[in-house]
């Protein structure tokens, strides 16, 4: 703004001395517009970065609130996931959710009972009670859980989700299990690496 006023004052002086030699201010205006665009772009980048950080913090808070309400746990930890985290597992989860690939799944007709689903999952995973696994929360956040009572843990997830939908990721050995609660049936997909 001050540069523009100085330029106008300079033009006025030049106009008094020699009216035929007035300097054109366009380069100065273009520089000012360039500076403004640069500042605006920098502000937009800062705001975008801040919004992403706020989004991440809100996601972590929501995941913590969800994990706080899980039962049957010894402990849990929450972290943001990078795109390359659990790439094999995520590919298998996509396969599990594909409509056209339901051949290897275990099916239960609706209405399915929680106890029979938990029994089927327990026998597929060959888990007695204590184990560790990951829950994906909204696809971008991972909740690592140390489970002390598998039955209570699954019942609490079903209660919180208000559905049987569930995906668990295991390491050592790498494996996934997904329960999909559909209108007519509940299917369980399990794959080990």
Q: Where are the domains of the chain?
A: 2-52, 69-192
Q: What is the pTM of this model?
A: 0.69
State the pLDDT confidence band at 36, using cuts at 50, 70 and 90.
Answer: confident
**pLDDT at position 102:** 57
Query: Mean of the per-residue pLDDT values for the chain?
Result: 78
Q: Please tell me the predicted confidence (pLDDT) of residue 3.
A: 46
Contacts of residue 62, defined as CB under 8 A and 6 or more positions apart, other chains included, come to 137, 138
- Assess whether pLDDT exceeds 70 at residue 56: yes
Cis, bond preceding 171 (omega within 30 deg of 0): no
Burial degree of 147 (CB within 10 A; 0-12, 13-18, 19+): buried
pLDDT in tens, 142-193: 999 999 988 889 899 989 988 888 888 888 888 888 888 877 888 888 878 8
Per DSSP, the residues of 168-190 read: EEETTTTEEEEEEE-SSEEEEEE
What is the three-class DSSP state of 101? coil
Per-residue pLDDT averaged across 30-58, rounded?
81
Residue 99 banded pLDDT, cuts 50, 70, 90: low
Confidence of residue 10 (pLDDT cuts 50, 70, 90): very low
Check residue 104 and report its DSSP letter.
Answer: T
More confident residue, 98 or 46: 46
């Amino acid at each position: 703004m001050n540069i523009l006023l100085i330029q106008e004052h300079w033009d006025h002086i030049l106009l008094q001395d020699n009216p035929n030699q007035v300097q054109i201010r366009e380069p100065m205006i273009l520089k000012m517009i360039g500076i403004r665009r640069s500042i605006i772009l920098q502000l937009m980048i800062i705001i975008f970065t801040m919004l992403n950080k706020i989004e991440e913090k809100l996601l972590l808070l929501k995941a913590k609130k969800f994990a706080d309400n899980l039962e049957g746990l010894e402990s849990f930890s929450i972290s943001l996931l990078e795109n390359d985290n659990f790439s094999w597992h995520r590919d298998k989860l996509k396969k599990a959710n594909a409509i056209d690939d339901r051949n290897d799944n275990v099916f239960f007709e609706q209405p399915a009972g929680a106890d029979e689903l938990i029994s089927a999952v327990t026998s597929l995973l060959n888990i007695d009670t204590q184990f560790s696994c990951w829950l994906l929360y909204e696809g971008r956040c991972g909740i690592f859980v140390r489970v002390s009572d598998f039955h209570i843990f699954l019942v609490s997830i079903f209660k919180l989700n208000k559905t049987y939908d569930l995906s668990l990721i295991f390491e050592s050995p790498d494996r996934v299990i997904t329960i999909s609660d559909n209108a007519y049936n509940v299917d369980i997909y399990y794959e080990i690496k």
